[in-house]
Amino acid sequence: MPLPPAPTKRAAMLPPDAYDAPARSHHKAARKTEGTPSDSPLAEKPQAMEFSPRGGGDRLPEVFHEEAVSEASQVVQAAAQKKQSAPVQVAARPARKPRSTGPHKLFVLDTNVLMHDPMSLFRFEEHDIFLPMIVLEELDGNKKGMTEVARNARQASRSLDALAGAQGADITTGLKLNSTGHREAGGNLFFQTQALANHLPSSLPQGKADNQILGVVQALRELHAPREVVLVSKDINMRVKARALGLATDDYQNDKTIDDLELLYSGSLALPPDFWAKHGKTVESWQSGQHTYYRITGPIVPQLLINQFVYFESPGEPSLYARVTETRAKTAVLKTLKDYGHLKNAVWGVCTRNREQNFAMNLLMDPEIDFVSLTGTAGTGKTLMALASGLTQVLDDRRYTEIIMTRATVSVGEDIGFLPGTEEEKMGPWMGALDDNLEVLGKTEGSAGEWGRAATNELIRSRIKIKSMNFMRGRTFLNKYVIIDEAQNLTPKQMKTLVTRAGPGTKIICMGNLAQIDTPYLTEGSSGLTFAVDKFKGWPHSGHITLARGERSRLADFASDVL
C-alpha cells in the first residue's frame, strides 16, 4: 500500500493567542494547519491541493529541508512548555449534593419511624442504620390488617428482606443500603445479632419495648465511642426519656415538607407601594377579550410563579388584581381577574366577599386549572365556593358530568363504632358540611314555591356522589369534579393515591385547615395537603390560595382568633 502524498505547504509558527484557544480534535487542527499560509497566522479560505493518485508517495518534496524540520521541532517544544505552564480547563460537570465530610453517624431507628415511612431506611445518605431486635418484633406484630400502618409495616419488612437477600449480603458485617438500587443511600444496615449490656436505671421497666431500645442505644454509644449514636423516633415521650438519660435523639425530619407553616406558599403576593412609580414606564399592556394583560420587568419577576396572584392596593391610586400567566428570565405577563364579587358574576347565587375568595373563585372556574388547593381557617368559605363552582360547571356549563365528594374519616373525639347502611349511607354522618352548604345553595326565589325548591334539591343531589377513600385505589375519574374535604388529615401517600385517580377532563379540589389536624403522627409540615401545595406550585395547570378572613359569622371569626 503506497504512502499518502506529503503536504506541499510549509509548517508555520502558531500565533500566541492560539495557545489560549479551546482544545480541538486532531483532525480539525490538522485541516486548519494545512490551510494556513506561511505569511499569515490564519488562513482566510481553504485552498485546494492537487493530488495525483499515480504520484509516488515514497519521496518527500524539496520544501521539507533541514530548516523546516528544525523549525517544526521548536514549535513542538514551545507548545509543550506552554501546555505545562497553562492551567488545564476541565469541562464543567453537573453539581452534586455535597456530602458530609465528618465521621459517619450510627442512627438507631424506632419502630414508629418505619411504620410512618417504610422508605426511611434509604433517607440517611452516607450514615449507617442499626435496628434492634425488638423493632423487628414490633414490625411483625403490626403487619396484619388493611390499615395504612399495617401496609407500611409490610413494605418495610419487604425492604429488609430484599436487602438481606442481595448478592454478597452479610448480616454480620452490615448490609449495603444501595444494593437494591437506592443510590442516595451510601451507608450500611446493621441488625442486633447478639445481646448487649443494659445499664439503664432500675426504675425503667425492662420488659417495655421503648426501654429496650433505649438500652440498645446506650450500649452502642459505649461500644462505638467516640462515634455518635443517635436515636430517631416519632414518639415525643421516648425522645424526652432519651434526653433525660443523656442520649442523643432526634425526630424523623425527612417527611416534613416545610419546617414552619409561615414558609408555606400562600398563592398571592402584594406588589410594593412604589410598583407603578418604578415599572410604569416599562410596562406593556394590551387588551384581549374582557381581560387586560401587562408585561412587567424588574427585580420582582424572579419571585413570581405561574398562576400566582398579585395585587396592588394603595390609597389614591387604582388597584390591580391579576394572575401570573407567563414567566421568563426577565419578564412576566399578568392577566386581570374576573370580579366574582359583583352580582352579575355570581356563581350559583354566591358572590365573593373578599380578595382571597375572588382569587379562589377564579381558579375554581378556570377550565385550564386541573388542581386547586384551598387552605384557611374555619368559616372562610372553602366548601361553599367549591360546591357553588362545581354545581355551575356540572348543571349549567355541562363541563363535568358529576361531583364526587370525599374526605378523610378521622374523628375528633372517640369513635362511635360501625355505621349501618351502604357506602354512601356510611359516609353520610361525615358529610354534615355538605348538607349545610347545600341548604344554602338550594335556596331559590320565593315564587318557585316548595315544589320548585324540592325539585332543585333533588336535581342537585342526583349530581353529587359521596365516596369513601377506602375504595379509591384502582379507579379512574373521567370528566368529574372531585372535592377532597379535610385534606389536612391525609398523609402524602394517601394524597398521591387520590390525585392520581384523575383521568381526562377531571378537576380536583383539595381543601383543609392545617390548624385542625386530627391524624396521629401528622403535623403541619408533614401533612399531605402541605405536601401537595408545595409540589404543585408553579405548575401551569394548578393553583393555590390561602383564605385569610372568615365570613361565617362574627362569633366564629372571633373564636378562631382567641381560642
Average pLDDT over the chain, rounded to an integer: 80
301 CB-contact burial (10 Å; exposed 0-12 / middle 13-18 / buried 19+): middle
Spell out the residues 6+ positions from residue 249 whose beta carbon is closer than 8 angstroms to its own. 230, 231, 232, 233, 238, 239, 242, 243
pLDDT value of position 542 = 96
CB 362 within 8 A of CB 396: no
pLDDT value of position 285 = 92
Per residue in 474-510, is it b (16+ CB within 10 Å) or e — as a string? eeebeebbbbbbbbbbbbbebbebbbebbeeebbbbb
Predicted confidence (pLDDT) at residue 504 exceeds the cutoff of 90? yes
Predicted confidence (pLDDT) at residue 174 exceeds the cutoff of 70? yes
Q: Which range among 60-74, 196-210, 349-363 shows the weakest confidence by mean pLDDT?
A: 60-74
Q: Which architecture characterizes domain 345-410+423-562 according to CATH?
A: 3-Layer(aba) Sandwich (3.40)
pLDDT tens-digit readout, 409-447: 765 555 556 677 776 677 776 667 777 787 777 764 445
pLDDT value of position 413 = 53
Predicted confidence (pLDDT) at residue 101 exceeds the cutoff of 90? no
Count the neighbouring beta carbons within 10 Å of the beta carbon of residue 323.
Answer: 22
CB 129 within 8 A of CB 163: no
pLDDT tens-digit readout, 142-160: 988 888 889 899 999 999 9
CB 133 within 8 A of CB 194: no
Q: Which range among 63-77, 275-289, 409-423, 512-526 shows the weakest confidence by mean pLDDT?
A: 63-77
User: For residue 359, which of 297, 270, 490 has the smallest C-alpha distance?
Assistant: 270
Predicted confidence (pLDDT) at residue 111 exceeds the cutoff of 80? yes
pTM of structure: 0.69
Predicted confidence (pLDDT) at residue 286 exceeds the cutoff of 50? yes
pLDDT value of position 77 = 53
Residue with cell 418484633: 137
Mean pLDDT of 452-464: 79
pLDDT value of position 401 = 95
CB 282 within 8 A of CB 297: yes
- Spans of all domains in the chain: 106-251, 268-336, 345-410+423-562
Residue 498, CA atoms < 13 Å, CB-side half-sphere: 29
pLDDT value of position 206 = 81
pLDDT value of position 91 = 38
The Cα–Cα gap between 175 and 131 comes to 12
Which of the 8 DSSP states describes residue 474? T
The more confident residue out of 200 and 539 is 539
pLDDT value of position 31 = 44
Residue with cell 415511612: 117
In CATH, 106-251 is 3.40.50.1010: yes
pLDDT band with cut points at 50, 70 and 90 for residue 515: confident
The more confident residue out of 243 and 172 is 243
pLDDT band with cut points at 50, 70 and 90 for residue 326: very high
Q: Which range among 22-31, 180-189, 215-224, 420-429 shows the weakest confidence by mean pLDDT?
A: 22-31
Which of the 8 DSSP states describes residue 42? S
Adjacent-strand bridge partners of 130: 108, 190
pLDDT band with cut points at 50, 70 and 90 for residue 464: confident
The reply to whether domains 106-251 and 345-410+423-562 share a CATH topology is yes
The more confident residue out of 77 and 558 is 558
pLDDT band with cut points at 50, 70 and 90 for residue 287: very high
pLDDT band with cut points at 50, 70 and 90 for residue 471: confident
335 CB-contact burial (10 Å; exposed 0-12 / middle 13-18 / buried 19+): middle
Query: What is the pairing mode between strands 480-485 and 320-327?
Result: unpaired
Mapping DSSP onto H, E and C, the string for 200-244 reads CCCCCCCCCHHHHHHHHHHHHHHHCCCCCEEEECCCHHHHHHHHH
The more confident residue out of 14 and 113 is 113
CB 537 within 8 A of CB 307: no
Which of the 8 DSSP states describes residue 272? P
The three cell numbers of residue 479 are 370528566
Rg of the chain over Cα atoms, rounded to whole angstroms, equals 35
Predicted confidence (pLDDT) at residue 49 exceeds the cutoff of 60? no
pLDDT value of position 378 = 83
CB 110 within 8 A of CB 231: yes
How many Å separate Cα 191 from the centre of its chain? 33
CB 337 within 8 A of CB 358: yes
Query: What is the pairing mode between strands 371-376 and 507-512?
Result: parallel
